[in-house]
Amino acid sequence: MRRSIALTVTALAAASLPLAAPAAASQPSAAQASAAPASAAQAASRVRVSAAYELPGTKVYPEGIAADPRGGALYAGSYTDGTIYRTVPGRRAAEVFLPAGADGRHTANGLRVDRAGRLWVTDSTAGVTVYDTRSRRLLARFDVPGEGARFVNDIAIAPDGSAYLTDSTRAVVYRVTPREVARGGRGTLTPRFDLSGILDPGAGFTLNGIVADPRGRYLLTADMSGGGLYRLDLASGAVRKAGLSGGDMLHADGLELQHGRLWVVHNTAYAISRWRVSADGTAARLERRISDKALQLPTTAVRRHGVLYVVRSQFDKGGPMGPGTPEVPFTIAAVRGI
């Protein structure tokens, strides 16, 4: 299953643009920046990309990242073996928080830490596991229902504590409620939003990154193949395509929403874009977009204290998207200026 999905992702990448060797991780880089017409001053500013944290291992190929809202720790996960890493403020090298194969999980995609200190980790082929960040204990596990293709990808946590997970192959969004987590044990993921009749059925990969409105009204999720952004109403269940001006969500992977601004990681484009989202979440306007090979095929990001921490996956260097040799150590980049 993982092999066939990786081939699908590779085909998407090949259809988009050629992959090139990344810049050295140890050297800060001035990004090639472009801005919306009204942002000429921003276009002149410089964006800096530098290594913030190192992930030990020669075949890490990280994918997801999460920030603990209660402190300074960041968590990152390995797509190739499921290892979960945790950064410690003041230390350059991350530590192993959960080893490869923990609880039978051999991959990690989306990560999120909720307000209760629980770490959510998606396994693309199985579902999601929930851990206590203090004890590292497995609290609950939720499996994908049915048979056939699936790719459980990214996670958002709504203000009421419910978790929402995208399935990039089935074009659905699953929901796990706080009550289900409190019960513990093993459960089944329940679809809450179904976009399979809206998105292109032949696209292969569709929904990827997802974020929650801090007021609990809606979710935003990106269609990485079609380039659209969709608003999912949490109260009514209605699905609406958001209006985009100045750009699109093509190759969109991780999303980060703070104070009315949405940061989007465009993986095979080696790019990050920043958008101003309308108050009701029905529209977004591109403010800035930068592209830099020093991002080393970025996948997801979190923003803290004005810095965007970006996962440098190197998927195209011997990982799931191409042959070659990665630059080690794998790193999480600090991106300033966007």
Percent of the chain with pLDDT over 70: 87
* pLDDT tens figures, 176-215: 999 999 999 999 999 999 999 999 878 889 999 999 999 9
Residue 45: per-residue pLDDT: 63
Tokens 């990982």 sit on residue: 319
Question: Cα separation of 310 and 292, whole Å?
Answer: 12
- Section 264-281 average pLDDT: 98
pTM of the model: 0.88
Neighbouring CB atoms inside 10 A of 91's CB total 10
Contact call for residues 249 and 242 (beta carbons, < 8 A)? no
**CB under 8 Å, gap of 24 or more: what pairs does 87-94 form?**
87/53, 87/332, 92/53, 92/54, 93/53, 93/54, 93/56, 93/329, 94/53, 94/54, 94/55, 94/56, 94/332
Distance of CA 32 to the CA centre of its chain: 23
Say what the pLDDT of residue 7 is.
34
3-class SS of residue 176: strand
Q: How much is the mean pLDDT over the chain?
A: 89
Is the CB of residue 321 less than 8 Å from the CB of residue 314? no
CB half-sphere exposure, 95, CA atoms < 13 A: 7
Q: Per-residue DSSP letters for 102-119?
A: GGG------EEE-TTSEE
Which candidate, 242, 109, 231, 107, places its Cα nearest to that of 165? 109
**Are 269 and 16 contacting, i.e. CB atoms less than 8 angstroms apart?**
yes
**Which of helix, strand or coil describes residue 38?**
coil
pLDDT in tens, 64-123: 999 999 988 999 999 999 999 999 888 999 999 999 999 999 999 999 999 999 999 999
Q: Is the pLDDT of residue 266 over 90?
A: yes
219: which residues sit within 8 A by CB, 6+ positions away? 156, 158, 164, 173, 193, 210, 211, 212, 213, 231, 232, 234
pLDDT digits (tens, 9 = 90+) for 212-240: 999 999 999 999 999 999 999 999 999 99
